[in-house]
Chains A and B, each alone.
Chain A
């Protein structure tokens, strides 16, 4: 038997799940299981209780409401990948999903699970940061919404209470015709990115009116390259501009681990942000495979 012993609960309603989570000690929520199950199998985590959300009604949907896309936390990555609404209104997410694991894992993995696991290089986490998403959580004291910039509390740790469950992600939509690109560097297709860049641009009359540049995998949580964003707004988009301003990404504080040194991550941050900006504007990106 791979996982250490636990008691298993599979509530059918959200209120049941909230009350279980509030009353049980050392309980873990199980969403798509594509991160938690490996950690259980390897006994990196040994909860006393597993609360499985897969049978909870009403947590899987994609809707448009009030200029935003609302996504239920248990919506599978594969359903997002093939959602026409996501493709039309949030094309950055559609593109980013092509890099998320493999078909077999996207069939199970959920957006809520991705955000709560909060891997530093997870693509959906970067998309949420890029779009200034908001996360809805439900706990014993009711519902609250957390701006995504406040959502990461640290490495693999969301800023939610132990008795709260993420139920929805709200993604404000950018105007029709906005530019976007997701570029990532990974050793193999489907691996976690060493560094990724997510870009959203609004270009009016040839000038950049609004910009969002997010780097994943560089630090413990996605970083908005605010220096780049500020430097390009008001400017005419050009390869030279991007080449110059993206140098500022070299000073972003970066992680070092078995995959890459901090200096290499900083170098990739420069390259990937420039590449994503170039690609968003339809400029050539020589040497880029993905």
Chain B
């Protein structure tokens, strides 16, 4: 059995067929092989949440998966959240307007995590937002701006739904 495998994954709606070393994490595959460096790597052992992506619509830490495991699956990364190059998603707009980010390192993981939350629970309480992002570390904002952004985004997304 070779140490590389050809895999086909759909990332942000685009199908890619690439060789991946079997020991390569999904995060390294997204960043190094596909050039999608929006997915950030903080701790690389599943604590910080910066590398969170949606796998078949469910949030997962891309540092805790092998790229080969995603063969045939669909992935959404932070690059795929905005509806177009000139337009932000309401969640991203809410982050901008509520100081939901400062250095931006945790933001990709925050956005993907909250996208899942707001899809499953369009009207979350503040507590539910805080629990949802409890697996995402931010060292700048003290979380307050992020929580406000998430609650604001819920309102905006309901208004546009």
Contact = CB atoms under 8 A, between A and B. Distances in A.
B23 A104 contact: no
A5 B5 CA distance: 14
Contact of A102 (B58, B68, B134): B134
A1 B1 CA distance: 19
A37 interface: yes
Nearest to B58: A107
A3 interface: yes
B1 to A, nearest CB: 5
A1 B45 contact: no
Interface stretch (A7-15, A143-151, A152-160, A267-275): A7-15
A212 interface: no
B135 A104 contact: yes
A241 interface: no
A34 B64 contact: yes
Given A8-B1, A38-B46, A38-B64, A107 B28 contact: no
Interface string A34-61: 1001101110000000101010000000
Contacts of A189: 131, 134
B10 to A, nearest CB: 18
A33 B64 contact: yes
Interface in A48-96: 50, 52, 54, 78
Question: Secondary structure of the B side of the interface?
Answer: mixed
B24 interface: yes
B152 interface: no
A248 interface: no
A105 interface: yes
Interface residues of A, number: 32
Interface in B1-34: 1, 3, 5, 21-25, 28
B36 interface: no
B68 A10 contact: yes
A6 interface: yes
A52 to B, nearest CB: 6
Given A37-B64, A78-B58, A104-B135, A8 B5 contact: yes
B63 A104 contact: no
Contact of A108 (B65, B117, B131, B132): B65
A104 B61 contact: yes
Contacts of B63: 2, 37, 41
Contacts of A5: 3, 23
B113 interface: yes
Contact of A105 (B46, B55, B69, B117): B46
Contacts of A107: 55, 58-60
Nearest to A8: B22
Contacts of B117: 103
A4 interface: yes
B65 A2 contact: no
B52 interface: yes
A130 B69 CA distance: 34
B74 to A, nearest CB: 14
A47 to B, nearest CB: 11
Nearest to A101: B135
A188 B134 contact: yes
Contacts of B116: 103
A78 B25 CA distance: 22
Nearest to B109: A104
Nearest to B46: A38
A101 B65 CA distance: 16
Given A9-B1, A37-B46, A38-B45, 15 more contacts: A1-B28, A2-B63, A8-B1, A8-B23, A30-B66, A33-B69, A34-B64, A37-B65, A38-B64, A41-B63, A103-B59, A104-B49, A104-B59, A107-B60, A108-B60
Interface of B: 1, 3, 5, 21-25, 28, 44-46, 49, 52, 55, 58-61, 63-66, 68-69, 113, 116-117, 131-132, 134-135
* 10 nearest CB pairs, A to B: A102-B135, A8-B22, A38-B45, A37-B64, A107-B58, A104-B59, A3-B23, A189-B134, A190-B134, A7-B1
